A and B are shown apart, each in its own frame.
Chain A
Amino acid sequence: GENVEQHPSTLSVQEGDSAVIKCTYSDSASNYFPWYKQELGKGPQLIIDIRSNVGEKKDQRIAVTLNKTAKHFSLHITETQPEDSAVYFCAAKSGGNEKLTFGTGTRLTIIP
């Protein structure tokens, strides 16, 4: 089955700087890669996703890049703000399989 690895596990960034979180996946058939933000005591919230036919996607301060050959994808947050502090999870889903496999999470702390 799919295996998703995520790094780093914790990340502290000065407010205004950029944050990058990286994930790798094992199943070359995976074709959907969402990123979720989870705040304490709440469920995950989708912040951006990318499909395998696209190499990059951007939504305001958030961007995701996908390298299918290397089987890795990354989340980029620019101009970070204190409210960006949360745990971020990447995930991967194979075509024809409805299950999402999650990464291990990154606790992002924005230092004011």
Chain B
Amino acid sequence: GAVVSQHPSRVICKSGTSVKIECRSLDFQATTMFWYRQFPKQSLMLMATSNEGSKATYEQGVEKDKFLINHASLTLSTLTVTSAHPEDSSFYICSARDLLGAGDTGELFFGEGSRLTVL
């Protein structure tokens, strides 16, 4: 099946710094990628929809200036957590859909996640 790669898998940073997480579709093109956040023992909460070549669409309650999303190509989306604070510590997961499977075919491929710890 299709592969979505996230990097880094784990990152520890100091409060006030910014952290960038990359999401790449390795063997397919994705016009749309999704960023999720998952707290321990909880479900995945959609943060934003990343659209190639245009602005991301953020879910209600997600600060767009805090979580910067850039989708510069059909295979790469980045999430930057700006001025990170301990409450931003979480597991961030991206997903992508194969461009050839666009429309209503459904299947999303998920990355392995990135665990952010802010000290």
Contacts and interface: CB of A to CB of B under 8 A. Distances in A.
A87 to B, nearest CB: 8
B77 interface: no
B106 A43 contact: no
A98 B30 CA distance: 12
Nearest to A104: B43
Given A31-B104, A44-B93, A96-B104, A102 B110 contact: no
A95 B109 CA distance: 18
B107 interface: yes
| 7 residue pairs, one from A and one from B, having the closest CB atoms | A32-B106, A43-B110, A43-B113, A43-B112, A102-B43, A44-B110, A102-B44
B32 A105 contact: no
A46 B43 contact: no
Contacts of A98: 32, 34, 49, 97
B108 interface: yes
Interface of A: 31-32, 34, 36, 41-46, 49, 51, 89, 93, 95-96, 98-105, 107
Given A43-B110, A43-B112, A44-B93, A99 B104 contact: no
Contact of B42 (A32, A96, A105): A105
B115 interface: yes
A89 B46 CA distance: 14
A91 B106 CA distance: 11
Contact of A99 (B42, B43, B46, B110): B46
Nearest to A87: B41
Given A32-B106, A89-B43, 13 more contacts: A34-B108, A36-B110, A43-B93, A43-B113, A44-B44, A46-B1, A49-B106, A98-B32, A98-B34, A102-B43, A102-B44, A104-B43, A105-B43
A103 B112 contact: no
A45 B43 contact: no
A34 B32 CA distance: 18
A103 B49 contact: no
Given A41-B113, A44-B93, A49 B46 contact: no
Among A45, A99, A101, the most chain B Cβ lie within 10 Å of the Cβ of: A99
Interface string B66-110: 000000000000000000000000000101010000001011111
